[in-house]
Amino acid sequence: MSLGSDDSEDEVLPTASVFLGPLGRAAPISLLSSDSEDEAPPTLCERLRRKFAAQSSAVPASPARKAPAPACRPAPPPPPPAPARGQPRGQDGLKQVAAVLDPALLQADGGGQVLSALQALGCACAIEPQPVAGSMAWRRRAAGPAQAEEESWTEEPNVLLLLHTEEFVSMIYNYKQVPLQEVQSSTDGQKETLRSFVARVMEKIPGKTLALAVVELEKYLRSHKSQSQKRPRQAVPNGSQKEGQRKRKRQKEKEASGPEVSRLDVEEALVDLQLHTGIQVRCLENWKDLSDFATMFTKSVAEAPFKRERENTGFSFYLENEWCRGVKVDRSGKGLLQAWQRQIQQFHRVSPDMASAIVSAYPSPWLLEQAYRRCFSEQEQQNMLADIPVRRGDGVTATSRRIGPELSRRIFLQMTSHNPDLYLDVTN
């Protein structure tokens, strides 16, 4: 709607969208000042805007929403205990060990299998000539910052030596042929036995621990046994000339196939070697068994320092037997009487019956010390326990004796002497 007058032009009234703005929101309104002192009354939209601003200022600002507390999670499991410091075990121990193989060992039929098994194990390998051909040794990385230097490797005392089957059988055959008195001195190499061979090897590697391994010995013994069983069938006497030819033929075949030894000969030679040198021989079925034995040997060498450190306790023996095992004492004092009896029983030549008799008379060390103080002389103190009776057995077989002056004197010296190095068995 428009209002008209003569003096003014037509004027258009603003719509609601001008006051509310886009999307129905209140648009900002600016107040226009006039030349007169009186201000124009606020419009409806202005009053609504002021009311809305007053309500907004009166309402306190909502507090910032806190981040939700994290859900409680179970504590992670504790890490596994670390191995002994300075002596790694398991796979870490294998990283500190390197296997050194002689080239002659790799030239054997199954030498490549041994090398492949060691590499699959994760052990470092080196191919270097050794003092004994066909042997295998180990080196350990020394602890220190310069671990890559050659000087940081130390030699292990273990050596594994591979013996060929023919050479091993020949030594056993020589042992069977040579008398016992000549075996002990057969080091010239003409008829070498296992003992003379080991003595010659130990001269090249002094201070080492030697281990011997033989591969396919059982196969050799089975083949010679089958040949010996076939020979009597072929030996049919058809005349002296033919018989001589057959004997010469069998002799040539025997020399070509090698000497014949039995399992009993092998066992006797191995027992003789172990008794005189302490060295054992591992007889393996095939080359796969040799590679498994080499890996097992390498693991043992790698874990040896850790096992020695673990077993290095303050005692050189294990308290297993009942007479020397410790006594458990609870908080109420139960077990103290038995501990006091065990203490007396530790004296030399003191039986449980004698210790029990002394404990029955003086149930605690304090009572025994008080009894010593009531004596008038040192001689009386030394003989105070001599007349205590000791009863053995029950019934008609029961016997009785006394503690005696010797044990009485030793217990007195142990309870009263201030000398920690005093030898109690020395008589005055």
Residue with the larger pLDDT of the pair 14 and 272: 272
Residue 251 has pLDDT above 90, yes or no: no
Instruction: For residue range 89-148, list pLDDT tens digits in order.
Output: 555 678 889 999 999 999 888 889 999 999 998 889 999 999 999 999 999 987 655 444
User: What are the two backbone dihedrals, phi and then psi, of residue 213, each rounded to the nearest 5 degrees?
Assistant: -135, 135
The lowest-confidence range among 29-38, 180-189, 271-280, 333-342 is 29-38
**Band of pLDDT at residue 159, cut at 50, 70 and 90:** very high
> Which one-letter amino acid corresponds to residue 30?
S
Cβ pair 332, 317 in contact under 8 A? no
Residue with the larger pLDDT of the pair 157 and 394: 157
The CA-based diameter of the chain, rounded to the nearest angstrom, is 171
Residues whose CB falls within 8 Å of the CB of residue 327, separated by 6 or more in sequence, listed in order: 335, 338, 339, 342
Q: Give the CATH architecture of domain 336-416.
A: Orthogonal Bundle (1.10)
The fold adopted by the segment(s) 90-229+256-310 is Rossmann fold (3.40.50)
Distance, CA of 353 to CA of 399 (rounded, Å): 11
The DSSP bridge partners found for residue 282 are 213
Contacts 24+ apart (CB under 8 A), 26-29: 26/52
Q: What's the mean pLDDT when you consider all of the chain?
A: 74
Contacts 24+ apart (CB under 8 A), 250-254: 253/227
Token output for 61: 């600002």
Instruction: For residue range 325-353, list pLDDT tens digits in order.
Output: 567 888 888 888 888 988 888 888 888 88
**pLDDT at position 91:** 59
Token output for 307: 């096992």
Query: Where are the domains positioned within the chain?
Result: 90-229+256-310, 336-416
pTM tops 0.75, yes or no = no
Average pLDDT rounded to a whole number, residues 21-48: 51
Average pLDDT rounded to a whole number, residues 247-273: 74
Question: By CB neighbour count within 10 A (0-12 exposed, 13-18 middle, 19+ buried), where does 387 fall?
Answer: exposed
Average pLDDT rounded to a whole number, residues 238-252: 61
